[in-house]
Amino acid sequence: MRKTTNQVNRRVILQSVITGVLALFLPLHVVCAAPFPTKPNIIFLMVDDMGYHDLGCYGSKTILTPNIDKMCAEGMKFTDVYGGCTVCGPSRSVLMTGYHKGHTPVRDNRGGIPLFPEDITIAEVLKKAGYATGGFGKWGLGNQGTKGAAERQGFDTFFGYYNQWHAHTYYTHLFRNSERVELNGRYTHYPIYEESIKFIKANKDRPFFCYLPWTVPHAPYVIPEDEPAWQLYKDKPWDHDSKVAAAMNTMVDRQVGEIGALLKELELDDNTILFITSDNGASRRFEGTHNSCGEMRGGKRSMNEGGIRVPMIVRWPGKIKAGAVSNLPWYFPDVMPTLAELAGVSEEPPKDIDGISVVPTLLSKSTQEKHAYMYWDDSWYHNEGLRMGKWKAIRSNNKFKVDPNVEAHRGMWKGMEHESGKIRLYDLSKDLGEKKNLADKHPEVVAKIAELMDKAWVKPRSQKDGGVYKGLN
């Protein structure tokens, strides 16, 4: 790692002094436990509803993402990473808490269901490790002013949408630490991006966690007429939404390039680990234009691969091997223990979380612990999903009878495939499209998976809204 700049040197000196002082009071093994001499900055970019195949480096033929493709070539590309859920809110709950969808506090997607004070978030874990914590985009885990609000869940500052339904418009007001901010007609993504940049600059001399749950390319498909990315697509012979979705992704790509340039300018590049992912599968497959889910079946809200498998790029110059590709299956519960290990506080996350740190894989070590299985459920289709090695199983509508609010959604999805309680089984090594149900051929695998699914899901606490949010105010 380069330590040639004043900024980095100051930080190293400061941390050495702190470590030295701590060494006077702590047992030797505690002082030696920090795996990285300088705590890396962490930028976690999670765009919204972007499909697995919507980046050039993941096979897109129509969407231009040269900056992200370059980041991918300079870092590690994961082929088998999954979001926390099929939809926005619960996926964020899984990400923030390290508990999978059968355990995490926020299970439904109505937007205002809050985290509680006793819930431990990634931001709280990193704050304890001395990180500045900032979030910019869509929170979705508690309305402004509630105990679930981001600034009461470990973030020094949060700017953006608190209730995710508010994020269904790009011309509105936003909130900063629960205080309303008028934007006077600006496209919301611009100030969200600008605040992200300000946070990085303001915290260049100390470790920071910059959480970027940006709302694009989530619907509605609107973008300013003078946005440079729009100029690249506005005359394409595609339907309007295909053009705007492409422009939204290319806009993100430009901004990723700008963040990369800023990190170099601030001489933070070598000491910053950057994650790029999406919160769930593509909301629209854009068949015939972008083919956002490729050969995978389903999309957002589906328990098939198209609904939960997401791109994941991790870049850390000098630490992560450039151009590496990993097929390790992992998912959002793993982010908390991974970031905790990077920050040198592996003991901070609750002991019973479902995640496993993937730091050994990031550093190309052979000591990676693997999941016996990964589990999801959704609260809308009442499907459960489980991946165990090559096997992927989906069970429909087995036991979600508890919450009358959830029950109310059921009518919205009449006509869906609901073979109540029956497991469908697919071999992902041969059938990524989940077309051939092998359940009848492998009853022993099905029985094992049914047992795992039964154990993985516990009844959620109340999924009621926080009670403060009224419309968009």
Interface with Ca ion by CB under 5 A: which residues?
48-49, 88, 279-280
Please report how close the Cβ of residue 49 comes to Ca ion at its closest, in angstroms. 4
H or E stretch at 374 = strand 374-377
Q: Which long-range contacts (CB under 8 A, 24 or more apart) does 292-299 make?
A: 292/50, 292/51, 292/52, 292/53, 292/54, 293/51, 293/52, 293/53, 294/52, 294/53, 294/59, 295/432, 295/433, 296/52, 296/432, 296/433, 296/434, 297/433, 297/434, 297/435, 298/434, 299/51
**Nearest approach, Cβ of 104 to Ca ion (angstroms)?**
15
Question: Residue 255 or 280: which CB sits closer to Ca ion?
Answer: 280
CA distances from 294 to 74, 79, 276, 277, 309 (A): 24, 13, 19, 17, 11
If the CB atoms of residues 188 and 361 are measured against Ca ion, the closer one turns out to be 188
Alpha helices in 287-362 (DSSP H): 305-308, 335-342, 359-362
Instruction: For the beta carbon of residue 105, count every other beta carbon within 10 angstroms.
Output: 21
Minimum CB separation from Ca ion for residue 311, in Å?
Answer: 13
Residue nearest to Ca ion (CB): 88
| Shortest distance, position 123 Cβ to Ca ion, whole Å | 20
Least distance between Ca ion and beta carbon 443 (Å): 36
Shortest Cβ 265–Ca ion spacing (Å):
32
- Residue 441: exposure state from Cβ atoms within 10 A (0-12, 13-18, ≥19): exposed
Determine the Cα–Cα distance for residues 76 and 189; give it in Å rounded to an integer: 27
The CA-CA-CA angle for residues 349, 365, 452, to 5°, reads 55
In the complex with Ca ion, the residue whose CB is nearer, 168 or 442, is 168
Pick 222 or 261: Cβ nearer Ca ion: 222
Please give the Cα distance from 377 to 453 (Å, whole number).
9
* Shorter beta-carbon distance to Ca ion: residue 137 or 148: 137
User: Nearer Cβ to Ca ion, position 125 or 282?
Assistant: 282
CB of 205 to Ca ion, least distance (A): 34
Query: Minimum CB separation from Ca ion for residue 112, in Å?
Result: 16
* Nearest residue (CB) to Ca ion, 48 versus 270: 48
Q: What are phi and psi of 44, to 5 degrees?
A: -120, 100
Determine how many CB atoms are found less than 10 A away from the CB of residue 344.
Answer: 18
Nearer to Ca ion, 88 or 174 (CB): 88
Nearer to Ca ion, 82 or 131 (CB): 82
Return the exposure string of 372-395: e unless at least 16 CB atoms fall within 10 Å of the residue's CB, then b.
Answer: ebbbbbbbbbbbbbbbbeebbbbb
Shortest distance, position 158 Cβ to Ca ion, whole Å: 18
